[in-house]
Amino acid sequence: MAPRPYIQPVVDSTAVFKADLFNGKVLFCTGGGSGICKAMTESVMRHGANAVILGRKIDRLTAAAEELSAKTGRKCLPIQADVRKPEQLKDAVAKTIEKFGRIDFVICGAAGNFLAPIQGISENAFRTVIEIDTLGTYHTIKATLPYVRQSKGSYIHVSATLHYRGTPYQVHVSAAKAAVDATSAVLAVEEGPHGVRSNVIAPGPIAGTEGMDRLGPKGPTSISSEFYRAMPVGRMGDVKDIANTTVFLFSDAASFITGQIIVVDGGNEHLRVPGLPYPESVLDPESVKAMIKPRL
């Protein structure tokens, strides 16, 4: 019998970091109503911060805010806002200041994605992803920066690893996230002298998220099997892996870290297997239709 790989454990941030690490701090998170960004928000709240979560679906936000408050004992304010609309973000910031009086941490996490080849993406669909991911990040920075300067705070931008190589069916999000990475670097350089840090977290495949469910390989194929096996740490990512990185980057332990891209993928990028069969998926898009779920 072949030896089995060691599986790295999933660790809760409260087992490593002080419970009162962020007492008195306030987090402003776009996309915080679900998935990775919700877990990031929960982790910061577990260490003492209050939070504001933004998104387009108020019912989802309200339910998430109630859950987060119940789990952490901290306050979470849900605000409906579309990151593509600067005025809505400015209004959300005003409500945050009215409620909490400050903003210390910002997570730019609103995103959109779907699987489609270049020939199958309309101009409008490509533009929409750029507007949500790239312009949404810019609008969030512009709206929050005066208050983050005051608190000598920090930004985390949720990116991806897709643009490190040419990833089929992902031209739109690859372009958008590459721009997010570049924006964070400039923000770090310009705002460092003002006491502000900016970093990127680039998650790898994270189990149990809507994005992975819709965008990961489907079916009992060799492609699917190899994709999920190509994890040097022996398992898929967990939202807690991203959450733990968030707590570290917002903490004073990371005070000398800015302008960086932190890949949290269990080493997957070194062994990345295409999520769709190649070159079949680009030569005959119809042949892989059954492997693609509806858009996010």
Active site residues: 159, 177
The CA distance from 166 to 164, in Å, is: 7
How open is the CA angle 249-250-251, to the nearest 5 degrees? 90
Q: Are 104 and 151 in contact (CB under 8 A)?
A: yes
3-state helix, strand, coil in the chain (%, to 5): 50, 15, 35
Q: At 73, which helix (H) or strand (E)?
A: none
Compute φ and ψ for 50, nearest 5 degrees. Answer: -90, 165
Assigned token pair, 30:
């776009």
The CA distance from 102 to 262, in Å, is: 27
Contacts (Cβ under 8 Å, ≥6 apart) of 4: none
